[in-house]
Structure 1
Amino acid sequence: MTTRAVVRGVGHYLPERIVPNEEFTKTLDTSDEWIRSRSGIERRHFAAEGETTSDLATRAARLALDDAGMTPDDIDAIIVATSTPDLTFPSAATMVQSALGMTSGFAFDVQAVCAGFVFALANANALIVSGQAKRILVIGAETFSRIMDWTDRSTCVLFGDGAGALILESEDAEGSAADRGILASDLNSDGRFRDLLYVDGGVSTGTTGHLRMEGKEVFRHAVEKLAKTAHSALDKAGLTGEDVDWIVPHQANLRIIKATAQKMNVPMDRVVVTVQDHGNTSAASIPLALSVGRSRGQIKPDDVVVIEAIGGGLAWGALVLRW
């Protein structure tokens, strides 16, 4: 017998304001066709003034709890993956803990940029398998609209705000690839590539800063590294690409998603795609896509799901789970 971390509930929240591509044509030398052809993005959501990352995370968390039929008192820990916390400290996770009315358990943030949710799920899985927690609320939440350079058409049109949440619960299992729950993970980083994707602000500068990206280089690394990490996670799980029902990739760019699926020999009709509606929501994109994919009727019980993402650091990874 072994212990698996099984998905019990999912939920997502998007800010009310929807920003179509056409809105950027008022201030930038760009067009709807230019943005769509390079990214696949048609629209995104921006948080309202005063609406914070922890606000978005809390809304998604409540929906996941409702989906699981649980209350905050049932949760042992909260992990929030984010690069845009409300404050330098305390963590966004403790703010969600407070907003939910939780007075026990523990909460912390994970920062791996767009790969953050994969890293957060891997950490949650380790905590459950080691017996330190039975039920963990894992959230990806971002307000990337707050770190955009609105004069840089190559980046500001790509990102959006949102949050997604997932609840994991400990369950006894046989220890085989037929088990439900998280079956394997593969995490990586290489700090030599820091300058390809970063924010030029922080404690050292005394400013919030803006996102900077070398788009062509990030694209090249993404396609190569995402397919490799997904295969590595499948190998660890004792599965192959033929066993995969759904790939739920980081929703950064439709061209990256298609190129990675092709490299993995997985047809696009087995890939959950939401980037057209949400843009790149960084650590929120995978839990958003998982929640949307489940609500669409794509992801069903017993499906094998592969999630994979790459972000600043560079940091990248993949995780295999049976729904």
Structure 2
Amino acid sequence: MVKTILRATGTYVPTPEISNAELVASFNAYSERFNAQNADAIAAGTLEAKPLSSADFIESASGIKNRHVIEKDGILDIDEMVPRITPRSWDETSVQAEFAMKAITPALEKAGYTGADFDGIIVASSAQQRNFPALASELQGLIGCEGWSFDMTMACASALYGLNIAHTMIQSGQARRILVVSPEIMTSINVHSRREVHFIFGDAASAIIVEAGDATSSGWEILGTHTKNKFSNALRSDFGFINRSEYVADPDYEVGLDQDGHRVFKDVVSFAPVVAAELMSRLDLAPADIHRTWLHQANIRMVDMIAKRILGRDRTPENAPAILHEYGNTSSSSVVMNFEMHSEDMAPGETGVMCAFGAGYGVGAAAVRKM
């Protein structure tokens, strides 16, 4: 039977960084100005004051100390609070496609492939910058892939949903080699004026090369993949094409990312390990068989608890590494970044589990073994 191989990965992290201290200074300046401008309404109880943030709050709530971003000045400017990205003409490569290529290029170099070697491309990310044409189709043209392509989104679990589709297509004989790309420019989605979410996200991109192989292949054998959903509105972003119509009906309507953090934590910590356990059970893998788990980097307490439930033992930097202290939550690219940064030391025959979880709720898991 054909084996599905994770042949290579590529990741990209932009250079600009924002520390907790910088982000807090910006957020608090925004809140203090808002409160001063609306002092009478706040005093009358008709408007709620904006709370202040702190570096201690951010680190204790999330474990995040730093994040890398596509553009820094706009995020920290209290009149904007979004990255400044110059619009491009239709004749230019789009911003997100260019961002994606910075992860695709090292993945191709590692594997020794060109775009012509691929049957298809899946862009799997929290959002694409336009509705159509598909970002995957643009990337197809940029690398010279003559096959098929499509975009899909399942929030922070997108990369593993894309991996699941690629694995299934290869197992069924529909493709021999697929590129799964997750360009996540989350600071453009985030609402940096909301205390509950202003500190969460960073920007990054990842790419995974998945192919058919055999016992002589190099890389990681994909033993199995599994995805599962449980709908929830607790983490939501309403940015979309209907917004223009909503603004006409109500000019004061506000969209953007928001969450009920306590509810998300409780729901996901109980749901994500179940999905991983279902995959492990299907593959006859016990917790003791798992050398390492690479988890989506949402929150350090979530990482601690989910790792323990998957592995049946306390999390350590060895068995479930964490990278969110440096990069923040980079949505679906985070699990691939984590894998790339913390897999080279594993020995042939050792097995690991990737698990990602996000809005929806959607959970994806993949079991891989070093070849």
TM-score by length of 1: 0.91
> Higher Cα Rg: structure 1 or 2?
2
Bigger strand share = 1
CA distance in 2, matches of 1:276, 1:4: 36
Spell out, residue by residue over 1:68-100, the C-alpha distance to the aligned partner (whole angstroms, 9 max, x if none): 121221111111111221211122211222222
Which of 171, 175, 194 lines up with 1:133 in the alignment?
175
Match of 2:292 in 1: 246
Kept in 2, the 8 Å contact 1:164–1:291? The answer is no
Matched, 1:286 2:324: no
TM-score by length of 2: 0.80
How is 1:34-73 mapped onto 2 (pairs within 5 angstroms)? 34-48=57-71, 49-50=85-86, 52-73=95-116
Which of 228, 239, 257 lines up with 1:188 in the alignment?
228
Kept in 1, the 8 Å contact 2:265–2:302? The answer is yes
Identity over aligned residues, as a percent? 30
Kept in 2, the 8 Å contact 1:79–1:120? The answer is yes
Match of 2:156 in 1: 114
Q: Which ranges of structure 2 fall in alignment gaps of 5 or more residues?
A: 28-51, 72-84, 87-93, 248-253
RMSD between aligned residues: 2.0
The Cα of 1:140 is off from its aligned counterpart by 1.6
Kept in 2, the 8 Å contact 1:140–1:287? The answer is no
Match of 1:95 in 2: 138
Kept in 2, the 8 Å contact 1:305–1:322? The answer is yes
Which of 186, 196, 199 lines up with 1:154 in the alignment?
196
Which of 120, 127, 133 lines up with 1:77 in the alignment?
120
Kept in 2, the 8 Å contact 1:251–1:286? The answer is yes
Kept in 1, the 8 Å contact 2:24–2:54? The answer is yes
The Cα of 1:180 is off from its aligned counterpart by 5.2
| Equivalent position SS for 2:258 | strand
Matched, 1:8 2:51: no
The Cα of 1:27 is off from its aligned counterpart by 2.2
The Cα of 1:275 is off from its aligned counterpart by 1.0
The Cα of 1:127 is off from its aligned counterpart by 0.9
Matched, 1:204 2:204: no
CA distance in 2, matches of 1:79, 1:272: 27
| Equivalent position SS for 2:294 | strand
Q: Which ranges of structure 1 fall in alignment gaps of 5 or more residues?
A: none
The Cα of 1:173 is off from its aligned counterpart by 5.7
Which of 262, 267, 278 lines up with 1:221 in the alignment?
267
Kept in 1, the 8 Å contact 2:167–2:225? The answer is no
| Equivalent position SS for 2:214 | strand
Amino acid paired to 2:164? A
Kept in 1, the 8 Å contact 2:124–2:154? The answer is yes
The Cα of 1:273 is off from its aligned counterpart by 1.3
| Equivalent position SS for 1:145 | helix
| Equivalent position SS for 2:336 | helix
